Homo-oligomer: A and B are copies of this chain.
Amino acid sequence: MMPTTSAAPSSSPAAPIRETVRVELGDRSYDILIGTGLLDDPAAWAGLPKAQTAMIVTNTTVGPLYAARLQAALVPHYARVLTVELPDGEAFKDAATLERIYAALLGATCDRKTVLFALGGGVVGDMTGFAAACYMRGVPFVQVPTTLLSQVDSSVGGKTAINHPLGKNMIGAFYQPVRVICDLDTLDTLPERELSAGLAEVIKYGPIADADFLAWIEANIEPLRARDKTALAQAVKRSCQIKAQVVGCDERESGLRAILNFGHTFGHAIEAGLGYGEWLHGEAVGCGMVMAADLSARLGLMPAEFVARVRGLCERAGLPVVGPALGAERYLQLMQIDKKSEGGEIRFVVIDRLGSARMQGAPEAMVREVLAAHCAA
């Protein structure tokens, strides 16, 4: 264990870490660069699509920290580098904020070659990606995720979206970035709570795809929480590899890809029920994984020990493991409208053996038992 506290903002003291994960999607394939000091490494920014204009999309929290350095990295490649700063938070992942990106692009007469750069977490990435998918029917975009959650989750796989008053991520597109650049140094400024939320998605990849990785996370949860760069690089790399493999087999989520939503059906209900932004997405997913693990056990697929193991690891990661007291009716109603509900039946991602997941329906009575066991009264 080698805890690293905040390095000087523009350099990394140790030997730089350089990892690459390739996402294979035919002519939409791209690289995920993972490392330290990437914002200041010219090699990371070479070879991107050429254009007159680059537009950095960021938010009021991340912009002041990193936009100037990204700007400096892009100036050698684009005649104009513009920045649009959005309000920070899931509550602003909506049509009105999306419109601000369009207005900035059109106001600056940006053409269809303009390259967008998403500098921030999942909300910035989802909105920038969706804006890129739709602006003039598609312009290239680059993800520069600055949260652990977006580095291991939303930056991989091309799912972009905004929320709708009637449901989360209801309006969006499958649209791939041309590159993802994960500078691990940006995680130094991440609040503790958001680091934990990111770890929820890291943990997820264990039960659904890799029992050894689950054991590795259990052995390395302290270095990860202490932001040890070597541990983080390994966690981000393995998470991206697993997600890239799943997405490569099922880009448009017709089947296999749904396993990435382990914990998400319960989790989305928590987020929607409390109002977006009350719990962080990763927190809701962490708690949702505990519920989904319990459902797997009640369905007879996994032993009771598995539930304790998932709950224990989530707790050590600093995640909440007791759902809010929304009432079972409200949970069921919210899960019904969730987009994984097809033809009226609620389907869940369940674990059928360690490292393997599948979609399955469950009797409503059993879902109520799970909710009763894991939600506050």
Binding site for B on A (CB under 8 A): 52, 95, 99, 102-103, 106-107, 109, 111-113, 133-138, 159-161, 164, 166-167, 169-174, 252-253, 336-337, 339, 341-344
* CB–CB A52/B343 < 8 A: yes
Known contacts A137-B161, A339-B136; decide if A170 and B111 are in contact (CB<8 Å): no
- Is the Cβ of A102 less than 8 Å from the Cβ of B164? yes
Q: Which of A106, A109, A171 has the most CB of B within 10 A?
A: A171
A173 touching B337 by the CB < 8 A rule?
A: no
Of all chain B residues, the one with the shortest Cβ separation from A105 is: B170
- CB-CB under 8 A for A342 and B166, given A134-B171, A137-B161: no
Q: List 17 A-B contacts (CB under 8 A).
A: A52-B343, A95-B95, A95-B99, A106-B166, A106-B170, A109-B336, A111-B339, A113-B342, A113-B343, A133-B173, A134-B134, A136-B339, A137-B160, A137-B173, A137-B174, A137-B252, A138-B173
Query: Could you say which residues of chain B place their CB within 8 Å of the CB of A174?
Result: 137-138
- Report the bound CA distance from A30 to B327 in whole Å: 47
Query: CA–CA, A172 to B343, complex, Å?
Result: 28
CB A168 to nearest CB in B, in angstroms, measures 11
Q: Which residues of B contact A171 (CB under 8 A)?
A: 102, 134-135
Tell me if A337 and B106 are in contact (CB < 8 A).
yes
Q: A135-B171, A173-B173 are in contact. Are A337 and B166 (CB under 8 A)?
A: no
Distance between Cα atoms of A174 and B336 in the complex (Å): 30
- Could you say which residues of chain B place their CB within 8 Å of the CB of A161? 137
Report chain B residues within 8 Å CB of A135.
170-171
Q: Are B166 and A111 closer than 8 Å at their CB atoms?
A: no
For the complex formed, measure the closest distance between the CB of A79 and the CB atoms of chain B, giving whole angstroms. 9
* CB <8 Å contact, A134 and B95: no
Shortest Cβ distance from residue A47 to the other chain B in the assembled complex, whole angstroms: 19
Q: With contacts A106-B167, A138-B252 known, what are 10 further pairs, Cβ within 8 A? A: A52-B344, A102-B164, A109-B336, A109-B337, A111-B339, A111-B341, A113-B342, A133-B173, A135-B170, A136-B172
* Selected contact of A172 from candidates B106, B134, B337, B344, CB within 8 Å: B134
Give the oligomeric copy count.
2
Q: Is the interface of A mostly helix, strand, loop or mixed?
A: mixed
Which B residues are CB-close (under 8 A) to A343?
A: 52, 111, 113
Q: How far is the CA of A171 from the CA of B133 in the complex (A)?
A: 9
CB distance from A335 to the nearest CB of B (A): 12
Measured CB to CB, the closest approach of chain B to A361, in angstroms, equals: 14
CB distance from A32 to the nearest CB of B (A): 21
Alpha-carbon gap, A50 to B174, bound state (A)? 22
| Contacting pair B106 A164 (CB below 8 A) | yes
Give the chain B neighbours of A113 by CB distance below 8 A: 342-343
- Closest chain-B Cβ to A22's Cβ sits at a distance in Å of 23
Q: Which residues does chain B contribute within 8 Å of A159, judged by CB atoms?
A: 137
Please give, as numbers and ranges, the residues of chain B lying within 8 Å of A109 by CB-CB distance.
336-337
**How far in angstroms is the closest Cβ of chain B from A161?**
7
| B339-A107 in contact (CB<8A) | no
3 residue pairs, one from A and one from B, having the closest CB atoms: A106-B166, A137-B172, A136-B339
Interface centre among A111, A174, A252 (most CB of B within 10 A): A111
> Could you say which residues of chain B place their CB within 8 Å of the CB of A337?
106, 109
A255 to chain B, nearest CB (A): 13
* A342 lies within 8 A of B106 (CB): no
Shortest Cβ distance from A162 into B: residue: B134
Q: How far, in angstroms, from A124 to B241 measured CA to CA in the complex?
A: 42
- Give the residues in chain B near A52, CB-CB below 8 Å: 343-344
